[in-house]
Amino acid sequence: MGFMSPSRSVRLVPSRELCGTTPEEFAVLLERLAPLVVERRCRLADRPGRLRAPGAGRPPFALWLRLLVALTHLRQGTSVRATGEICGVHERSVRRYRDEIEELLSDHGFCPPGAKRPIRSLEDLAAYLGELSGGTVLVDGTEVRRWSPYPWEEQKAAWSGKTKDHVVKATVVADAGRRPIWVEANPSGEGRTGDIAMLRSQDGLMAALQAGVAAGMVVIADRGYPTLRRDLGVEGVVTPIYANKHHPTLPPADRDYNRKLSSRRMPVEHAIGRMKWWRALTYWRRPVPAFARTIQAIAILTTLT
């Protein structure tokens, strides 16, 4: 695969080191997204108030090129200008390709094994969790470092006591197969919000979890969700045993229980680790509202590659 810039010729081949996929995975991903591109093009062509005549304008570059540039940008975590230098295209093209591929991945949705249809919305998630009678999902929060905001009041809101830095946050729901099945950014965009407070502010996600618990599903969470049982029900939530001022030291049986629970929680940690392998989630450079779409697109990528 090669394409030209005014100053040089660049030949790039899909690889895990470059764009996060093998050539075979890249071909499968291309095949999955191609029908969505056609649907998106028809939707844009038929939109109300369209001024340009059908077929007018310069035709877009091939989908494989747009996909390769977008994946390289997300995998390397570089700026649009640096990605443009790597791929030999203009930085505005990198930005346009990235936004397009993120929208296509969101349209594709999560496809966990056993799902009757892709999970594209919270309604789809609630329907999927409602069918997991006797199944297990794992919930955890994740943080990504970000640029320091201005003014000072916004810096305090973005500060995370856990990471000791300014961050953006999201809630991750994963299955036992180490696959994310839903990711939702903090609605407030703040970094100081605790995991349980962030989940409670995500009304649709909380309702989907309640539907799953009502159907017999079990939610496993860590110490960041100490009162989740009050929201979802005692029988449907498993969390660690906490020490308190009356019992500052846990007995050996409780410590052993917490160790076993940590082992059962590993799939969600692995799912988050696979997402962080895409270096766009190493440090967030873009506006905070764009974080929601990007982290969801990367979560979907981890299930397809």
Q: For the segment 216-239, what is each residue's pLDDT rounded down to a tens digit?
A: 999 999 999 989 999 998 888 999
What tokens appear for 176 in the block? 């036992």
The number of distinct structural domains making up the chain is 2
Whether residue 141 sits in one domain with residue 57: no
Same domain, 27 and 128: no
228 and 84 share one domain: no
Name the nearest CA neighbour of 225 among 129, 169, 137, 141.
Answer: 141
The stretch 71-78 carries a mean pLDDT of 96
Same domain, 271 and 299: yes
Residue 220 pLDDT: 95
CA atoms of 75 and 281, how far apart (whole Å): 9
Q: Mean pLDDT throughout 135-160?
A: 92
Q: Which residue has the higher pLDDT, 250 or 295?
A: 295
**70 shares a domain with 155:** no
236 and 217 Cβ atoms separated by less than 8 Å: yes
User: With 90 as the cut, is the pLDDT of residue 179 above it?
Assistant: yes
Residues 9 and 144 in one domain: no
Burial profile 141-179: b = 16 or more Cβ within 10 angstroms, e = fewer:
bbbbbbeebeeeeeeeebbbeeeebbbbbbbbbbbeebb
Residue that finishes a domain, picked among 60, 81, 108:
108
- pLDDT given at position 7: 52
- Is residue 119 within 8 A of residue 300, CB to CB? The reply is no
What's the half-sphere exposure (Cβ side, CA atoms, 13 Å) at 271? Answer: 30
Locate 289 and state its tokens. 């509202």
Q: Which amino acid is at 72?
A: T
Q: Indicate whether 215 pLDDT > 80.
A: yes
The count of C-alpha atoms lying within 13 angstroms of the C-alpha of 24, restricted to the half-sphere facing its C-beta, is 0
Q: How far apart are CA 144 and CA 166, in angstroms?
A: 8
- Is the pLDDT score of 53 beyond 80? no
The whole-angstrom separation of Cα 183 and Cα 173 is: 6
Examine residue 178 and state whether it is found in any structural domain, yes or no.
Answer: yes
The answer as to whether 22 is a domain residue is: yes
Q: Are residues 104 and 28 in the same domain?
A: yes
The answer on 299 and 162 residing in a single domain is: yes
**95 and 195 assigned to the same domain:** no
Residue 115 lies in a domain: no
CA distance 204 to 206: 5
252 Cα distance to chain centroid: 37
277 vs 242: which has the higher pLDDT: 277
Q: What is the pLDDT of residue 10?
A: 62
Residue after which a domain boundary falls, among 52, 81, 108: 108
Which residue range forms the structural domain that includes residue 222?
122-304
**Average pLDDT of the residues in 98-112:** 95
Maximum CA extent, the chain:
74
**Residue that is last in its domain, among 51, 85, 108:** 108
